[in-house]
Amino acid sequence: MAKQQRNARGRGRSPNSTATRVYERVRTGGERYWSLSDFRDLPATAVTHALSRLAGEGELQRLRKGLYYRPKQTVIGPSLPSASAAVGHTLNSPLHPTRLSAGNALGFSTQNPARPEFATPAAAAPGALRDATVHTRRPASRFELDAPDGALLELLRDRARYSDLSPQETMRRLVSMLSDRARFMRLAKAALSEPPRVRAMLGALGEQAGAPAAALQDLRTSLNPISRFDFGVLSGLPNASEWQAR
């Protein structure tokens, strides 16, 4: 505590000032984006001045009005902010990688598309992403998901066609990712608003990953029992036919 107070005084700030409190949160927050909404408990004008001062001191990078980025140090210098993540941070709707962008973001492909592609529940694409392709009107359940989880649903929407891995490795990797019970439960809940093929593939993968029976049953009962679905790359799952794969 004494050390923190000495650091604050060294910067010309009172230990209990808004500037000091902003600085301590930024300093201990690691690599991330910062905006006024992250300091709702502090006076907005004072926070604005504090963030501007931290940018002037090199602690933060100002990306646009009201949005800052704190880099981390790497072996080749400070990390760089992702343009798409910066835009997504300012939106009221989430922005999830899709198609080849999803495959790349999740480690299924090393290819980068010429135009990044994203999906959002918003009714219209953000103007700031003029150099990207944005697919709108995804289900409102996407609001509960972060970018990696949203990208996973997008990968399933496309039947894993944007994976450069072998079918067996693609399936193994997906099962491994869904073995995280908390992640599977989030996706299983959100998937109830996704196309039936997504629910079927998620159920088959989740069963292989040892997902909770109740969540699997919710997915199964949401499917029309006489429907059959194209699983694409995932048709080789051992239980694909049990989940109504063609």
Tell me the pLDDT tens digit for each residue of 64-90.
677 787 876 655 555 555 555 555 555
In this predicted structure, what is the pLDDT of residue 189? 96
If you search the block for the tokens 């990797």, which residue do you land on?
173
In this predicted structure, what is the pLDDT of residue 149? 93
Tell me the pLDDT tens digit for each residue of 99-119.
998 998 899 998 878 888 889
Do residues 146 and 192 share a domain? yes
pLDDT band at 14 (very low <50, low <70, confident <90, very high): low
Determine the Cα–Cα distance for residues 159 and 85; give it in Å rounded to an integer: 25
Give me the mean pLDDT over the 131-149 stretch.
88
Do residues 67 and 156 share a domain? no
SS3 per residue for 149-185: HHHHHHHHHCCCCCCCCCHHHHHHHHHHHHCCHHHHH
Do residues 74 and 121 share a domain? no
In this predicted structure, what is the pLDDT of residue 126? 67
When the pLDDT of each residue in the chain is averaged and rounded to a whole number, the result is 84
In this predicted structure, what is the pLDDT of residue 67? 76
Decide: 216 and 199 in contact? Cβ < 8 Å.
no
Do residues 90 and 170 share a domain? yes
Has residue 224 got a pLDDT over 90? yes
Q: What is the CATH number of the domain that holds 18?
A: 1.10.10.10
pLDDT band at 5 (very low <50, low <70, confident <90, very high): very low
Q: Which of 225, 126, 233 is nearest to 174 (CA)?
A: 233
The range of the structural domain enclosing residue 210 comes to 84-243
In this predicted structure, what is the pLDDT of residue 127? 62
Do residues 95 and 212 share a domain? yes
Tell me the pLDDT tens digit for each residue of 165-195.
999 999 999 999 999 999 999 999 999 999 9
In this predicted structure, what is the pLDDT of residue 73? 64
Do residues 204 and 142 share a domain? yes
Instruction: Give the dihedral sign, CA 105/109/110/116.
Output: negative
Give me the mean pLDDT over the 223-240 stretch.
97
β-strand pairing of 96-97 with 77-78:
unpaired
How many domains in the chain? 2
Instruction: Give the dihedral sign, CA 36/39/42/46.
Output: negative
Do residues 7 and 107 share a domain? no
Residue that finishes a domain, picked among 26, 55, 78: 78
Percent of the chain with pLDDT over 70: 82
Residue that finishes a domain, picked among 78, 110, 143: 78
- 86 or 96: which carries more pLDDT confidence? 96
- 152 or 13: which carries more pLDDT confidence? 152
What is the maximum span of the chain, computed from C-alpha positions, in angstroms? 71
Determine the Cα–Cα distance for residues 24 and 156; give it in Å rounded to an integer: 41
Do residues 38 and 94 share a domain? no
